[in-house]
Chains A and B, each alone.
Chain A
Amino acid sequence: MNADEKIAVAHLNVAFRKGAGYVPVVHDINFTIGAGETLALVGESGSGKSVTSLAIMKLLAEAPKTRIDGSAIVADRHGAPIDLVAMGEQQMRHVRGNRVAMIFQEPLTSLNPVHRVGDQIAEAIRFHQSLSKAAARARALALLEQVGIPEPVKRLDCYPHELSGGMRQRVMIAIALAMEPDVLIADEPTTALDVTVQAQILDLLRNLQKKNGMAILFITHNFGVVAEIADRVMVMYAGRIVEQGSVSQVLSSPRMPYTRGLLAAVPRFEHAGLAQGELGTIAGFVPDPSTPPSGCAFHPRCGYSIAGRCDQQAPVLEEIEMGHQLRCVRWRELATEQEGAR
Chain B
Amino acid sequence: MKERPLIDVVGLKKYFPVRKTFLAHRRDRDDNLVRAVDGVDLSIARGEVLGLVGESGSGKSTLGRSLMMLDPPTEGHIVFDNTEITPFNDRLLKPYRKRMQMIFQDPYGSLNPRMSVGDILAMPLRFHNPELDAAGRREKAGQALETVGLAAQYLDRYPHEFSGGQRQRIGIARALTLEPEFIMADEPVSALDVSVQAQVLNLFARIRRQMNLTMLFVTHDLAVVGHIADRVAVMYLGRIVEIAPTRELFSHPRHPYTEALMSAIPMPEPGQRRQRIVLQGDIPSPISPPSGCAFRTRCPYVLPACAQDRPLLREVSAGHGVACIRDDLELVSPLAAHPNPSASTTSLASTTSAYSLPSIANVRS
Contact = CB atoms under 8 A, between A and B. Distances in A.
A–B direct touch in complex (beta carbons closer than 8 A): yes
Interface of A: 44-45, 150, 164-167, 194-200, 202-203, 221-228, 247-248, 251-254, 260-274, 276-283, 285, 303, 338, 341-342
B115 interface: no
B6 interface: no
A225 B195 contact: no
Nearest to A258: B195
B21 interface: no
**What 5 pairs across the A-B complex have the smallest Cβ distances?**
A277-B349, A272-B226, A273-B247, A224-B266, A273-B246
Nearest to A47: B193
A150 B266 contact: no
A164 B202 CA distance: 34
28 contacts: A44-B193, A45-B164, A150-B281, A196-B55, A196-B261, A196-B278, A203-B278, A221-B194, A223-B268, A224-B265, A224-B267, A225-B266, A226-B268, A248-B270, A253-B360, A265-B195, A267-B226, A269-B222, A272-B335, A273-B248, A273-B249, A277-B350, A278-B198, A278-B350, A283-B352, A283-B354, A338-B357, A342-B361
The residue in A228, A254, A268, A338 that gathers the most chain B C-beta atoms within 10 A of its C-beta is A268
B115 to A, nearest CB: 24
Interface in B272-314: 272-273, 276, 278-279, 281-283
Contact of B356 (A45, A202, A280): A280
Contacts of B347: 277
A193 B358 CA distance: 28
A142 B338 CA distance: 43
A271 B263 CA distance: 16
B269 interface: yes
A225 B265 CA distance: 9
Contacts of B220: 194-195
Contacts of B266: 198-199, 202, 222, 224-225, 227-228
A161 to B, nearest CB: 14
The residue in B338, B358, B365 that gathers the most chain A C-beta atoms within 10 A of its C-beta is B358
Interface in B216-267: 220-227, 245-251, 260-261, 263-267
B348 A280 contact: yes
B150 interface: no
B264 A198 contact: yes
Given A281-B202, A283-B353, A272 B163 contact: no
Contacts of A150: 281
Given A277-B349, A279-B348, 18 more contacts: A44-B196, A45-B164, A165-B56, A224-B265, A227-B267, A261-B195, A263-B360, A264-B348, A265-B197, A268-B223, A269-B222, A269-B223, A269-B265, A269-B335, A278-B202, A279-B202, A283-B352, A342-B361
B105 to A, nearest CB: 13
Interface string B316-347: 00000000000000000011001001000111
The residue in B55, B267, B345, B347 that gathers the most chain A C-beta atoms within 10 A of its C-beta is B267
B353 A264 contact: no
Contacts of B22: none
Interface of B: 55-56, 163-164, 193-199, 201-202, 205, 220-227, 245-251, 260-261, 263-273, 276, 278-279, 281-283, 334-335, 338, 341, 345-350, 352-358, 360-361, 363, 365
Contacts of B223: 266-269, 272
A225 B266 CA distance: 5
Contact of A280 (B248, B279, B355, B361): B355
Chain A facing B: main interface SS = helix
A45 B358 CA distance: 23
A260 B357 contact: yes
Given A251-B360, A277-B350, A200 B279 contact: yes
B250 A269 contact: yes
A102 B250 CA distance: 37
Nearest to B265: A195
Nearest to B348: A277
A48 to B, nearest CB: 14
A196 B348 contact: no
Contacts of B246: 272-273
A188 B353 CA distance: 30
Contacts of B350: 277-278, 280
Contact of A228 (B198, B221, B273, B278): B273
A136 to B, nearest CB: 27
Contacts of A222: 194, 266
B208 to A, nearest CB: 12
A55 to B, nearest CB: 21
A60 B10 CA distance: 53
A271 B345 contact: yes
Nearest to A231: B270
A264 B278 contact: no
